[in-house]
Amino acid sequence: MANPKPRVIVVGGGLAGLSATIRIAEAGVPVDLFSMVPVKRSHSVCAQGGINACNEVARQQGYSEWEHCRETLYGGDFLQHQPPVYEMAHWAPKIIQLMDRMGVPFNRTPEGNHELRLFGGSLFKRTHFSGATTGQQLLYALDEQTRRWEAEGRVTKYEFWEFLWPVLEGGRCVGIVAQNMRSMEIKPFKADAVVMATGGCGMVFGKSTMSVICTGGAAARCYQAGVALGNPEMIQVHPTAIPGEDKCRLMSEAARGEGGQLWVPGIRTGNSDNPVANWKPHPQSNKDPNSIPKSERWYFMDEMFPKYANLVSRDVATREVFFRCRDGFGIGGGNMVYLDCTQLSDANKKKLAGIFEIYEKFVGDDPKHMPMKIFPAVHYSMGGLWTTFTPQERPPKPGDPLEKAVGMKEGDPKNMMTNIEGLYAFGEVNYQYHGANRLGANALLNCIFDGIFCGPSVVSYVRDVVKSPASELPDAPFVAVVDQEKARMKKLIDSADSGGGGTINPYTLHRQLGEEMTLACTVVRQEERMQQALQKVRQWQLDYRNISLSDTGIWTNQNLSFTRALGDMLIYAEAILNAAIARKESRGAHYRSDYPERDDAHWLKTSIANYDPTTGGSQLTYEEVPTLLAKPQSRTYGKVDTKTEKKEPEAQAAAK
């Protein structure tokens, strides 16, 4: 018999959470939507550059949905399961049409078509955009639709509520326990399915382009409750960001898509076929960049990647910036290069107004007239909660060079369900779509696609699979988790200097964690260095037992929330390092100087991390990645031969 009283909880108010909420609510299933902040302040609002999709204009260039799928697999170094990527790329045009009808103000050509821009990893213009604030426009449009269902009683918002733990009963997820961040009340909420849409884990690395609420704490709590992590080692570092004292601020890939160029001051020493051998650092690299003649500017991306130039994938561009600074070409010998947009037309500069305003606000220079100083920063989590899907063979779509296509079975209850029945993962917290490296402008697509395509899968599960509604379950399992979380909170509050004897400052410990993870496990990785970091993280996990809160209040205690999340970040960090050490190859964002080549024979497989409560660490298993649609190929983006380029022996060199 079908479930007569289905109800769903969605945790996370960004694009993935809102699109899932809308799709489930329009099917007639009530949704409780939880967010630590007002949904319009979710991290999706920070996305700048655009959203990828083929349309008729792109098709006239020779582009297609299949080419979008192929670029995504190539960009992710073939680590993704291919059917979800195929499905996402072929749904992308419909998603753009839907967003258009919802009122998203996409930039348009004089003819009224969507204007398209170039983005990394493609030679085709296929990125739809709203100036440099695309994420904000999409989020606001989806929030309007969510409020429509809220007004009709199908959506209940719980803003300023923090997810603490999933409630499991009989092997399935039947709800959550959450905390009111104002009153500090801890309550259980029953549901027949829970959708986690809680974003990435940038705060594990201290400074990142992510919002300060992106701790990965929610994912880490699910992980500790028994949910597996998929490819936790795959962390993206964006090549262009403004380093700051508090966090890093993204300078969108859109800047390069509109014609912005990366360069460093240099002196040309030769004209060989190897660009690296032709230049040496400029003796006055710190002087006014506008006074440096073009003959003394090394446009290293243009020379090293003549086909893609500044539009290679993010992992490749990041390493090139890193290597140039390592070799002494950074501005003033430091860790910055120029991102130059001064040569752009006024029309193109206008499209970048959003990021130009950010740069001028935090740096003081106007990018319309002065090249920006940038350096890579942690930006995105390709890894996340492990999920499954149900594949489905079908005839190829028009333009597919395939004998048979394999996508996902629409509406199947397994789509994007974790290894815990009834617990789903959508958006960035879901590991499925990006493999070892995400292409720019695929994140917004992935988030909305998960909600639109997999939302009905959640509906199928709660209506057709669940036989006994969660609302009729006894209170005992919910009370047990509430008591667990109250005890956790009490232990932290009792640890305060005033009486509990704790001596470890959580903010100092977090700074140490971020610095160590950034040095050991970002752009360039090496086993000995990561082992050092792993030992430190394990020691910090022990130190955490002696943590001390400065605020013991029971009203809006942000010190408590942060410190609790810090414990979860330490557990997530261990999983990242353990999986990165074990993967003895270089693939996408995971670049190992001691294993510099990709090894498909041994490592074309997903890292699956399961939490071991007896040790507080991760146990690794692996899952083969079938290549059903596209076979792995060499991933160079047309880089010229640089055989004399030095290899990086130590990840610390350019990040001190």
Tell me the pairing of strands 8-11 and 31-35: parallel
Beta bridge pairs of residue 393: 406
Contact (Cβ atoms closer than 8 angstroms) between residue 227 and residue 384: no
In 3D, which of 237, 198, 513, 590 has the Cα closest to residue 385?
A: 198
Of 7, 117, 314, 583, which residue is the catalytic one?
314
In 3D, which of 9, 27, 13 has the Cα closest to residue 191?
A: 9
Beta carbons within 10 angstroms of residue 91's beta carbon:
21
Angle at 279 (CA atoms; ends 266, 288), nearest 5 degrees: 5
Q: Residues near 84 by Cβ (< 8 Å), separated by ≥ 6? A: 389, 408, 432, 433
Contact (Cβ atoms closer than 8 angstroms) between residue 206 and residue 514: yes
CA distance 514 to 49: 27
Contact (Cβ atoms closer than 8 angstroms) between residue 107 and residue 69: no
Beta bridge pairs of residue 117: 127
CA distance 177 to 32: 13
Q: How far is CA 409 from the centre of its chain?
A: 25
Tokens of residue 497, six digits: 């200097």
Tokens of residue 651, six digits: 């990840």
Contact (Cβ atoms closer than 8 angstroms) between residue 601 and residue 625: no
Instruction: Note if 314 is an active site residue.
Output: yes
Q: How far is CA 37 from the centre of its chain?
A: 19
Q: Residues near 451 by Cβ (< 8 Å), separated by ≥ 6? A: 15, 16, 17, 18, 19, 20, 21, 22, 23, 197, 426, 427
Tokens of residue 127, six digits: 């990125």
In 3D, which of 315, 317, 254 has the Cα closest to residue 48?
A: 254
Cα 28 to Cα 172, 187, 381, 447, distances in angstroms: 23, 25, 33, 22
Tokens of residue 631, six digits: 């076979």
Beta bridge pairs of residue 420: none
Secondary structure, 3-state, 112-139: CCECEECCCCCCCCCEECCCCCHHHHHH
DSSP calls for 417-484:
B-SSBTEEE-GGGB-SS-TTSPPTT-HHHHHHHHHHHHHHHHHHIIIII--S-GGGS-SHHHHHHHHH
Q: Residues near 242 by Cβ (< 8 Å), separated by ≥ 6? A: 248, 249, 251, 358, 359, 362, 363, 372, 373, 374
Contact (Cβ atoms closer than 8 angstroms) between residue 200 and residue 231: no
Tokens of residue 174, six digits: 């039947």
Handedness of CA 278, 283, 287, 293 (dihedral sign): negative
In 3D, which of 13, 152, 92 has the Cα closest to residue 433?
A: 92
CA distance 202 to 212: 8
Q: List, by residue number, the catalytic residues.
A: 314
